Amino acid sequence: MSERTCIVTRGSGEPDGLLRFVAGPDMSVVPDLKRRLPGRGCWVTAERVHVDQAARKNLFARALKAKVTPPADLGAMVDRLMAQAALGSLGLARKAGQVVLGAAKVEAAVRAGKAALVLHALEASPDGVRKIDQARRATVHLGGPDIPAYKLFSQAELGLALGGTNVIHAAVLAQDAGKAVVKRVVALDRYRGGSPDDRTFVAATGVCDDAAEDME
């Protein structure tokens, strides 16, 4: 892929780290997450802070060479679209049998090194998250993969995507259908200001005494 330049930071990067925007028929600014819409496009670093800044200063008009007006809620609109994409891919992975639900099954998948990532509902209790975090640390301590965990969706959102109720903990398995989920979840987390590196760092650098205890 050729590099593109962010209209906010002026930094260049690969398209996967940027969001594309085009001018709509009504001269509004339209996010083009799939990078398929026709016409002249411009690029913004895929973080909400930059999208909000581009909208506030209307940097789109100059970049698109048109008298466009960004929606007042452009940053929130992009967030919704990215969340929908992530939840949609999660549902497809579930249909392919590549998602496990429930604290016990998630912990088992983590300890077996079969999970690509873990999702906790926003309503998840600290104790439930802690137990799965212990399993993540123990897996790393034993030489297994460092499995990231995210809190991005509500219990209702996860339940709707996964066709269940009371979904608090889920694990996406490290198989083909899970790859799309990982890509979209990581992108959404980064857009919201999170850092996957921070999350894996917590798991990988757990205190040795804790890791030893976790393996019991």
Round the CA-based radius of gyration of the chain to a whole number and report it: 19
Q: What is the pTM of this model?
A: 0.87
Percent residues over pLDDT 90 in the chain? 83
Q: What is the mean pLDDT of residues 176-192?
A: 95
| DSSP state, residue 19 | E
pLDDT tier at 10, thresholds 50, 70, 90: very high
CATH (domain of 17) = 3.30.1230.10
Clarify whether residues 25 and 46 are in a common domain: yes
Clarify whether residues 115 and 201 are in a common domain: yes
pLDDT tier at 202, thresholds 50, 70, 90: very low
* 29 token code pair: 């600014």
Q: How far is CA 166 from the centre of its chain?
A: 21
Clarify whether residues 132 and 114 are in a common domain: yes
CATH (domain of 151) = 3.30.1330.30
Q: What is the mean pLDDT of residues 50-77?
A: 97
Confirm whether 119 is domain-assigned. yes
Clarify whether residues 105 and 175 are in a common domain: yes
pLDDT digits (tens, 9 = 90+) for 87-120: 999 999 999 999 999 999 999 999 999 999 999 9
Confirm whether 77 is domain-assigned. no
Clarify whether residues 188 and 95 are in a common domain: yes
Clarify whether residues 114 and 48 are in a common domain: no
- Total domains in the chain come to 2
Q: What is the pLDDT of residue 124?
A: 97
pLDDT tier at 2, thresholds 50, 70, 90: low
199 or 120: which leads in pLDDT: 120
Clarify whether residues 99 and 189 are in a common domain: yes
pLDDT digits (tens, 9 = 90+) for 116-171: 999 999 999 999 999 999 999 999 999 999 999 999 999 999 999 998 778 999 99
Clarify whether residues 131 and 192 are in a common domain: yes
Residue 49 structural domain:
4-72
Clarify whether residues 87 and 68 are in a common domain: no
Clarify whether residues 149 and 194 are in a common domain: yes
Q: What is the mean pLDDT of residues 18-23?
A: 98
Clarify whether residues 115 and 195 are in a common domain: yes
Q: What is the pLDDT of residue 25?
A: 95
